[in-house]
Amino acid sequence: MKKTGMIAAVFGLALAATTAMAEHPGKESIAKSGYKGPETCEECHPGSAKGFMDTVHWKHASKVTNVDGVDPKKEYGMKNRIYVMCNGNDIVNNLKEIPKSPVTGKSKFTGCNTCHPGNHLSDVGSTGPEAEAAVDCLVCHSTDYDFRQRKASKNEKGQVVMGQDRSTKAALAIGKPTVKNCMVCHEAAGGGVIVKRGFSFTKDTDAHAAKGMVCVDCHKAKNHKIPTGHDPNNWANDNVFISCSDTSCHGGKPHKDADLNRHSAKVACQTCHIPRTGGAFAKDFTVWEQTPDKFYEPTTLKKEANETTPVYAWYNGTVKNTPHFIGPKGSRMDGKSKISPFKIFQGKAFYNKQTGELLSMDFAQPMSNGDTRAGVLSAAKTLGMKDPEKVAKEAVAGWQTIYFGSNHLVTKSKALFCANCHAPNGVLNFKDLGYSDKEIVRLTSPELFMKKLAEKQKEEW
C-alpha cells in the first residue's frame, strides 16, 4: 500500500510537471532580442552547444563494448553500421537529390542523416564553431515548431541544406522535450512510422503514456547525454544507462505478490509486461517495389504496434554479430542472463562474394529506377572498396536475421500471469531455453499455479 501510494505520488508529480509546464525564464529576453540560434541560448546556458557535439544525437556513433567483432577503439552507430533494417548508413546514404525518375522526370531528397539536428553543412560528427552554431535546439525543445521549415533544399552554391525553424515564435515556446519532440525522429526510424519497432507511445499502447509520462521522465539526461538500455541493435550510447528495475523507478521487487517478484532473477520485466511487439518483420533490399509516385521502396512486410508475438531468449547484454545474425547472447547458466522478449526481423540484401560480408547500399539509384546493384556500386565507391564494379556485379543475395529488443508498449492489465507461461501451451519454449524434460514436466504443471489462479478466479467473479 505504502509503495503503491508512493508510486502514485511519483506519477502525480510527473503529470503535474508535464501538464503545468512552467514558463521558460528566458522567454522575455528572447522576445526582446529575437532568436539567432544556439548563441541566443548560450547567453544563459553557456556550453550547451559545445557539449552537444559529444553526444550520440550529434555523432550518430560511440565506442561500443558489448558487441562481438567490433574494434573497441572505433566508434559505431547509424553513421557507419551496416545491417538489414536499413541497408546503408549516414555515409553511403548521405542526404542528396536522387537521379530523376525515368517515368516522371521528378527527383526528391533522401538520406539517413535527415534525422540529425544539424543543417547538413554541419553534419553528423562535425565539430567547431560552425557546427555549434548549426544545432537545431528547437526541434527538441520547442512546442511551436513549424515542420515546413525542416526539409532539405539546395542553397545558391548547390549544396544540400537541411532547413530548421529558427523563428522567434518557436523560440518563445521552450521547455523540456515532449513526446512529440522525440518522436519527430524516433517514430519513423527504420523507414516510416512504426516500422522499426512498432514504437507507438500513446495512452492506448503504453501504460506510462497513459499516466501522462513523457520520454524524458525515464530518459533523464544530463548535458544532453541521454541514457539508453542494451538493445542488441542500438549500439551507440552516451555511456549512461537505464533499466526498469533501477531503484529510482521500480526496483527489483515491485509486486505485492512474492511469486511474481521471485521471477525477476531469471525473467526480465519486459517479458511479462511487454507481451506484444510490432513493426516490420521482413524486408527485401534486393528487389524494390514501385510506389504510386513511381519511385521505388524496399519490399517491406509490416505489422501495427502490438500485433506481433515476440520470441524469447536468454540475454546477458552482450551481442552476437555476424554477417547473417545480430542478436542476444546469453544462457541459463551464465548467472547474468534473463529471459527477454525480442522481435525477430529478417532482411535480404547483397553480400560480398569474396569475403562473405554484408554490403551496404546507396538508396539514391534504386529509389529512382529500382536498380539495386547500382546502389551497391555507389556505396562500394563511397567506401573506397577495391574494384567496386566487380563487387557490385558479383554480389550475392542473402538473408540476415536480427533481434530487436522490446522496451516500450508496456502493459499492466495484459501482463503475463502464471498460466501464460506455465500451462503446456505457454508462450515460452522451455526446451529451446535449455530446460531438461524433467524440469519441463514440473514447469508446465498446474501444481505451480492451481491454488493461486483458483483464488484469483473467485475474486474476479
**Rounded to the nearest whole angstrom, what is the least distance from the CB of residue 362 to ligand HEC in the complex?**
9
Choosing from 10, 11, 26, 193, the residue that interacts with ligand HEC (CB under 6 A) is: 26
CB within 8 A of 271, min separation 6: which ones? 312, 338, 339, 340, 341, 416
Choosing from 44, 147, 436, 445, the residue that interacts with other proteins (CB under 8 A) is: 147
378, 92 Cβ separation under 8 angstroms: yes
186 binds ligand HEC (CB under 6 A): yes
Closer residue to other proteins, CB minimum distance, 312 or 404: 404
Residue 146: contacted member of other proteins, ligand HEC, none (CB under 5 to 8 Å, by partner type): other proteins
What are the C-alpha distances in Å from 186 to residues 152, 153, 162, 324?
19, 22, 18, 26
Cell numbers standing for residue 415? 501482463
Q: Which residues 251-280 are close enough to bind ligand HEC by CB under 6 A?
A: 252, 254-256, 259-260, 263-264, 266-267, 269, 271-273
CA atoms of 428 and 445, how far apart (whole Å): 14
Using CB under 6 A, count the residues that bind ligand HEC.
119
Closer residue to other proteins, CB minimum distance, 73 or 148: 148
Residue 307: contacted member of ligand HEC, other proteins, none (CB under 5 to 8 Å, by partner type): none
Type of residue found at 379 = A
**Rounded to the nearest whole angstrom, what is the least distance from the CB of residue 273 to ligand HEC in the complex?**
6
Residue 114: contacted member of ligand HEC, other proteins, none (CB under 5 to 8 Å, by partner type): ligand HEC
Choosing from 220, 336, 393, 431, the residue that interacts with ligand HEC (CB under 6 A) is: 220
Build a one-symbol-per-residue string for 299-318: x at contacts with other proteins by CB under 8 A, - elsewhere: -x------------------
145 binds other proteins (CB under 8 A): yes
185 binds ligand HEC (CB under 6 A): yes
350 binds other proteins (CB under 8 A): no
Half-sphere exposure of 166 (CA within 13 A, CB side): 18
192 binds other proteins (CB under 8 A): yes
67, 319 Cβ separation under 8 angstroms: yes
> H or E element: which one contains 33?
helix 27-33
**Rounded to the nearest whole angstrom, what is the least distance from the CB of residue 156 to ligand HEC in the complex?**
25
Residue 415: contacted member of other proteins, ligand HEC, none (CB under 5 to 8 Å, by partner type): ligand HEC
169 binds other proteins (CB under 8 A): no
At CB < 8 A and 24+ separation, what contacts does 35-41 make? 35/138, 35/166, 35/167, 35/168, 35/170, 35/171, 36/166, 37/133, 37/134, 37/135, 37/137, 37/166, 38/132, 38/133, 38/135, 38/137, 39/133, 40/171, 41/137
CB within 8 A of 94, min separation 6: which ones? 111, 112, 113, 123, 382
- Of 115-123, 154-162, 293-301, 321-329, the segment contacting ligand HEC by CB under 6 A is 115-123
241 binds other proteins (CB under 8 A): no
Type of residue found at 416 = L
Closest residue to ligand HEC: CB criterion: 229
Residue 342: contacted member of other proteins, ligand HEC, none (CB under 5 to 8 Å, by partner type): none
Of the candidates 442, 412, 401, the residue with the CA atom closest to the CA atom of residue 83:
401
Binding site for other proteins (CB under 8 A): 86, 110, 144-148, 180, 184, 188, 191-194, 202, 291-293, 297-298, 300, 363
